[in-house]
């Protein structure tokens, strides 16, 4: 990790060797974390007073018991920049008050990577290095993931679980839905309203998604929008979809009221539905599991009047649809579609790790 940090940028990296205190019985090692945390805090404060170090430029990274050590240091350094806890130890810390464990108040930004749900006490004693690596594989994985993320150009994809009590289920499928809006009349501007999409599967069932469950959104003509969906059923075979659009006025914006000579319809160019699970599992060169849907007759624009529902279908002709209004220069705006009755929601997440353990600028 130190080498990766130094390759990434010209950081000042300080490692803390407290092996004399960490190799004791776990209960004693736990108590020793407070002492080590005090020493680390004293060192940072000394650099602040004598070397003009700004605490916000300091990033403490700790693994296991070291995560809580970082927390003890952070609560004694005013304005500490960041703490990263790598699979923080559980025994003697779980269900304890914030003053005892690593918590969000210990730094300006605190992030944690959990990779093991088993107790650290089950790792066993009297094992050699190879055996410990095998037994503690998941526990040590957090540090390896963080180290890899420093220089890796391959982003991580993560799925957000609703809570610790409802862990991510392997039977939930994740999808990316992209809607490419057209602007055939070059009207530009935006429309405010609600969107719903229903996918029709091979067995004839219809699965509904409310893309604007949290309320109306503003959609700009000629732009592309991305939604992240999840469902407990495999919808990758769907080749048809129903798109419903409902225009809504904004009571705080008089310009949104449509009286005469205004168009509240939504012009859709095409819909792209992709299994994210497939994208993660397959090689980049073979990512072809995209279903592209467009006008039933292959026209370049599907016009959806307010409160109407239209059908789009998958067809080879959809791949040839291009619009001048939607170009690479338009940003892809992301909207998260929440579904309260499902198990989890998909979020693109990565482990951003571009700073050092102690970085002095």
Active site residues: 64, 87, 139
Q: What is the DSSP string of 102-125?
A: --GGGSSEEEEE----S-GGGG-S
Cα three-residue angle 284-286-289, rounded to 5 degrees? 105
> What is the length of the chain?
361
Look at residue 32 and give its three-state secondary structure.
helix
Find tokens 């995560």 and name the residue. 67
Find tokens 């499902």 and name the residue. 342
Paired tokens of 345: 């929601």
Cβ–Cβ < 8 Å for 176, 226? yes
Cβ–Cβ < 8 Å for 64, 87? yes
CA pair distance 168, 275, nearest whole angstrom:
17
Look at residue 172 and give its three-state secondary structure.
coil
CA pair distance 114, 100, nearest whole angstrom:
19
DSSP3 helix / strand / coil % (the chain, rounded to 5):
25, 30, 45
CA pair distance 287, 272, nearest whole angstrom:
13
Find tokens 């940072």 and name the residue. 44
CA pair distance 88, 17, nearest whole angstrom:
18
Sequence-separated (6 or more) residues with CB below 8 Å from residue 230 = 159, 172, 173, 174, 175, 339, 342, 343, 344, 345, 346
CA pair distance 360, 5, nearest whole angstrom:
13
* Distance linking the first and last C-alpha atoms of the chain: 19
């Amino acid at each position: 990790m130190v080498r990766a940090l130094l390759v990434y940028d010209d950081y000042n990296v300080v490692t803390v060797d407290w092996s004399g205190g960490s190799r004791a019985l776990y209960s004693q090692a736990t108590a020793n974390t407070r002492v080590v945390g005090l020493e680390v805090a004293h060192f940072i404060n000394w650099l602040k007073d004598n070397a003009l170090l700004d605490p916000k430029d300091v990033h403490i990274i700790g693994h296991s018991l070291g995560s809580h050590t970082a927390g003890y240091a952070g609560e004694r350094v005013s304005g500490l920049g960041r703490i990263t806890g790598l699979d923080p130890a559980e025994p003697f810390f779980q269900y304890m008050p914030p003053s005892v464990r690593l918590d969000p108040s210990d730094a300006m930004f605190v992030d944690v990577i959990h990779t093991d749900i088993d107790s650290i006490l089950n790792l066993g004693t009297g094992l050699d290095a190879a055996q410990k690596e095998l037994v503690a594989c998941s526990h040590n994985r957090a540090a390896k993931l963080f180290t890899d993320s420093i220089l890796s150009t391959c982003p991580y994809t993560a799925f957000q679980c609703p809570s610790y009590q409802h862990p991510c289920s392997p039977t939930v499928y994740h999808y990316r839905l992209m809607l490419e809006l057209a602007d055939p009349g070059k009207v530009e501007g935006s429309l405010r309203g609600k969107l719903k999409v229903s996918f029709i599967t091979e067995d004839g069932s219809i699965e509904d998604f409310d893309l604007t469950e949290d309320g109306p959104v503003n959609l700009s003509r000629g732009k592309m929008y991305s939604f992240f969906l999840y469902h407990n059923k495999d919808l990758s075979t769907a080749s048809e979809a129903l798109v419903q659009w409902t225009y809504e006025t904004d009571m705080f914006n008089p310009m949104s009221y449509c009286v005469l000579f205004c168009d509240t319809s939504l012009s859709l160019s095409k819909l792209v539905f992709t299994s994210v699970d497939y994208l993660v599992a397959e090689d980049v060169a073979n990512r072809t599991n995209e279903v592209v849907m467009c006008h039933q007759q292959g026209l370049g624009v599907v016009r959806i009047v307010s409160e109407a529902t239209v059908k789009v279908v998958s067809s080879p002709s959809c791949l040839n649809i291009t619009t001048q209004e939607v170009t690479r220069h338009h940003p892809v705006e992301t909207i998260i579609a929440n579904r309260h009755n499902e198990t989890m929601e998909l979020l693109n997440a990565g482990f951003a790790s571009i700073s050092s353990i102690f970085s002095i600028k």
